[in-house]
Amino acid sequence: MAELFSPEWMQAYKDQWNAEPELADALAKINFNSAIAYGFKREDKPKGILIVKEGRAVEAGIYEGQELNWDLRADLKDWEKWLKNGLNMMSLSAAYMQGKLKFAVGDYGAMIKDPRMVGPFLKSFAVMGRV
């Protein structure tokens, strides 16, 4: 398995993202466009980036200073746990409230209140677990 958030891992994640209707198709319905970065807490910058246009992941690779809409950070042990078990509303809220999942960029409050976004957000963790 490729290292978490490495270019190879991000490419595989992109493929899995696009293959999941509850993610790509659901976000296409709301014309979702975003640059989403992933990385680790206490690091200056994220590791990987996924560019999404109209719900579909169109680019994936290493973060190289692109402008971001979302920057998700956690410790490696927490990423590994979520990739193995996924997240639901309860575990997402707990991770956020306990500071295990940080939004260095992005509005957690707005996302969590929008059912068109929160479902796909939770699904993205299950999809990560397929990589």
- The domain in which residue 52 lies consists of 7-128
Instruction: Return mean pLDDT, the chain.
Output: 95
102 found inside a domain? yes
Average pLDDT of the residues in 56-79 = 97
> pLDDT-based confidence at 112, cuts 50/70/90?
confident
What value does the mean pLDDT take over residues 105-115? 89
Indicate whether 1 belongs to any domain.
no
Q: Are 35 and 65 in contact (CB under 8 A)?
A: no
The tens digit of pLDDT for each residue in 25-66 reads: 999 999 999 999 999 999 999 999 999 999 999 999 999 999
Q: Of 54, 68, 49, 59, which is closest to residue 26 (Cα–Cα)?
A: 54
Confirm whether 2 is domain-assigned.
Answer: no
pLDDT at residue 87 greater than cutoff 80 = yes
Q: Which residues are 34's β-sheet partners?
A: 52
Report the alpha-carbon angle 95-89-71, nearest 5: 50
pTM > 0.85: yes
Structurally, the chain folds into a number of domains equal to 1
| CATH code, domain carrying 99 | 3.30.1050.10
The residue ranges of DSSP E strands in the chain, in sequence order, are: 34-40, 48-53, 56-62, 70-74, 102-105
Q: Render the burial of 18-47: b for 16+ CB within 10 Å, e for the rest.
A: bebeebbebbeeeebebbbbbbbeeeeebb
- Tell whether 38 is covered by a domain: yes
